[in-house]
Amino acid sequence: MSDTFETRKRNAERTRETILAAAQDVFSTTPYGEASLKEITRRAGANPALVSRYFGSKEKLFEEALGAALDAGMLTAAPREGFGEAIAELFTAPPGSRINPLPMLIFAAANKETQAIAVALLHEKVMQPLETWIGGDDAAARAAEIMAVATGFFMFQLILPLRPFQGKVDKSVRLWLAVSLQAIIDRE
């Protein structure tokens, strides 16, 4: 009996994680209003009723998907000296298996409810840790500047693609990105 319960529990956790991963994929490529639970559960190979069971609603699923994707650690793990270069490398490397939360943030802006969720999560999971890492009286402004540069870069790479930002990012764009980010960190 215990083995059966544990197996069901593992299967439920796996299904929940699969739905969450599918939601991250859909919400990072489709505006919230156009993203359908049917498409998310199709990609996850799950019954649509499970979204309600595991997450409660599409909005709560969005909140968990975005929250799981936001990670200030990628920024704060970089050394201060060489920060710009390290982050430019991270931003221009092939995405691999990591989900880029910036498209989800941008797509969230079109919907009042998801915009509020995105702003709250962005503040809690990225801005506050980044401000603490930066330190100083102007830490909030500098963290916001980093977000503005990052959002602009990914906007023109993923949402409104410009040729120099596509594929292997143009060398001069990569240099601009590294220098811009480093200048924010180095500023007194």
At 118-149, the pLDDT tens digits run 999 999 999 999 999 999 999 999 999 999 99
Residue 10: pLDDT band with limits 50, 70, 90: low
- Helix, strand, coil share of the chain (percent; to 5): 75, 0, 25
Tracing tokens 């990569």 back to the chain, one arrives at 174
pTM comes to: 0.84
Q: Name the residue with higher pLDDT: 24 or 93.
A: 24
Taking the C-alpha atoms of residue 51 and residue 40, their distance in angstroms, rounded to an integer, is: 9
Cα 70 off chain centre by: 5
**The tokens of 52 are what?**
């309600």
Averaged pLDDT, 67-86: 94
pLDDT tens digit sequence for 35-59: 999 999 999 999 999 999 999 999 9
Domains of the chain plus CATH, in order, are 2-57 (1.10.10.60), 70-186 (no CATH)
> What is the average pLDDT value for the chain, to the nearest integer?
90
For residue 1, is pLDDT > 60?
A: no
Q: How many residues does the chain have?
A: 188
Q: State the Rg of the chain over Cα.
A: 19
Write down the pLDDT at residue 164: 85
Could you read off the pLDDT of 26-37 as tens digits, one per residue? 998 888 999 999
